[in-house]
Amino acid sequence: MALMTGAEYIESLRKLNTQVYMFGQKIENWVDHPIIRPSINCVAITYDLAHDAEHADLMTATSNLTGNKINRFSHLHQSTDDLRKKVKMQRLLGQKTASCFQRCVGMDAFNSVFSTTYECDKAHGTNYHENFKKYLTYVQDNDLVVDGAMTDPKGDRGLAQGAQADPDLFVHIVEKREDGIVVRGAKAHQTGSINSHEHLIMPTQAVSEDDKQYAVAFAVPSDAEGLFMVYGRQSCDTRKLEKDADVDLGNKKFGGQEALVVFDDVFVPNDRVFMCEEYDFAGMLVERFAGYHRQSYGGCKVGVGDVVIGAAALAADYNGAQKASHIKDKLIEMTHLNETLYCCGIACSAEGYPTEAGNYQIDLLLANVCKQNVTRFPYEIVRLAEDIAGGLMVTMPSQADFRSELKVPTKSDMSLGEWTTKFFKGVAGVSTENRMRILRFLENICLGASAVGYRTESMHGAGSPQAQRIMIARQGNIAAKKELAKVIAGIVD
């Protein structure tokens, strides 16, 4: 099958019997739902740019499995150049959408499962690697979106998987059959899950032998029997339901998406099982996926950051403050922070190395440093953007007020729209509406519905800050650094 276009991707979603719930109700036509559709538009652009000659080198690759041209989001990295192109592609898409385009998790899962299954088969004589290669070939041939799913609800964080009062708080195997397995549980905070054709499930943390039923990896279609999803709401999301409120949305066309994905005794056939109680490889899979996904943030968040910086600079222009030295300095600081994130994403890619399976792994230490910076720098970038924008970003009236023809009973005989337009005018030559649009955009990305794709997700996506610090401590090799100091200081033990 040829690479799909964005329009073909959207039509392919209509063929699925995906079970979606939101606001306590089942959503029948979720593809066209005004709250959900912006996130679908984000995924669609990953298809359309693959057909754009200007961006084809970043957006497409040659499959090592089939030799066919494929979307880079379904590619197994074959070199450090592939790793760098991944980051550059993510920055490009962040610039184009100013939101989360939702396919990175699947791409990172592909590469993690590919290498882990190879080493698991080598140790246990299993056949998971061949299963996965056949599955990924199917994904590539059909140009599918796959939700990579790692995070479980977890329940009591102080207890192991098997010690939870409710065993379903982590996805686990409830039955092993001759033709496959039956799984139960849920995956939480799943980016783009509703917009995906398939789900690739992985353990959320290392697993002990006593809890080996939680060491499971598999793939199922989005409309598998027993699988349903509950859409996660975002700040200001119901603005999308209002009539004639596109200015108030800030980012009308694009948006992110998260959902709870529930598995109520879902059957998985053997050829779609990639780990089944091999608990000694669960930690490897988690560590590798986390590394790839932390690398991703050095691309996507930088692209969105580019747009935030541009929006803040526009707000300064529209406010008439662009010549102030402190404004110039804040824009410099925002750029410095954003490019530092990008440096980390490129660095961990350039220092990548081949796995036993043949695909390329990033430098884990530098990937975790990258994500640790992402937990901090976007917050400072947003703070500076809000500083530059001013308080009107969160206090201005609605689009309905600016466009209202309702006469206000005063001697001036002006409409409500005329009054609000008059008093929120900025510099000459810029309409009040355009000033409002850029401020609403900043509100949306700093505080509103897009915050999940930039600010808040920068903190918790791909693991909490402490998760990265644990990996930095593990990978930092303090013992070797001590020896360096001993040699130079002349210390002999």
Residue range 386-408: mean pLDDT, rounded = 96
Reported as a single tens digit per residue, the pLDDT across 116-142 is 999 999 999 999 999 999 999 999 999
Q: What is the mean pLDDT of the chain?
A: 96
pLDDT of residue 351: 98
- Summarised one tens digit per residue, pLDDT across range 24-75 is 999 999 999 999 999 999 999 999 999 999 999 999 999 999 999 999 999 9
Average pLDDT over residues 328-350: 98
Task: Tell me how far apart the alpha carbons of residues 196 and 413 are, in angstroms, rounded to a whole number.
Answer: 54
Give the pLDDT of residue 449: 67
For residue 443, being part of any structural domain is answered with yes
In a domain, 320, yes or no: yes
Q: Compute the distance between CA of residue 254 and CA of residue 37 in angstroms, rounded to an integer.
A: 8
Asked if the structure places residue 314 within a domain, the reply is: yes
CA 478 to chain centre: 32
Confidence of residue 457 (pLDDT cuts 50, 70, 90): confident
- Could you tell me if residue 250 is inside a domain? no
* pLDDT tens by residue, 294-329: 999 999 999 999 999 999 999 999 999 999 999 999
Q: Which residues are catalytic?
A: 100, 104, 191, 258, 293, 297, 300, 457
Residue 475 predicted with pLDDT over 90:
yes
pLDDT the model gives residue 451:
63
Question: What's the number of domains the chain is made of?
Answer: 1
pLDDT at 450 over 80: no
Q: What angle do CA 345, 232, 288 make, to 5 degrees?
A: 30
pLDDT band at 454; cut points 50, 70, 90: confident
CA–CA distance, 37 with 144 (Å, rounded to integer): 18
**Would 409 be classed as within a structural domain?**
yes
pLDDT band for position 455 (50/70/90)? confident
Percent of the chain with pLDDT over 90: 94
- Report the pLDDT value the prediction gives residue 129, as an integer from 0 to 100: 98
- pLDDT at residue 154 greater than cutoff 70: yes
Closest to 99 in 3D by CA, of 59, 154, 50, 41: 41
Asked if residue 456 has pLDDT above 90, the reply is: no
Range of the domain at 347: 287-482
Instruction: With respect to residue 412, please indicate whether it lies within any of the assigned structural domains.
Output: yes
- What are 66-82's pLDDT values in tens digits? 999 999 999 999 999 99
Q: With cut-offs at 50, 70 and 90, classify the pLDDT of residue 444.
A: very high
Q: Tens digit of pLDDT for each residue in 364-374?
A: 999 999 999 99
The band of 235, judged by pLDDT with boundaries at 50, 70 and 90, is confident
Task: Report the DSSP beta bridge partners of residue 229.
Answer: 20, 261
pLDDT, residue 453, reads 74
Inside any domain, residue 348: yes
484: left (phi over 0), alpha (psi -120 to 50) or beta: alpha
For residue 236, what pLDDT band results from cuts at 50, 70 and 90? confident
The pTM is what?
A: 0.96
Q: Would 465 be classed as within a structural domain? A: yes
- CATH code of the domain in which 377 resides: 1.20.140.10
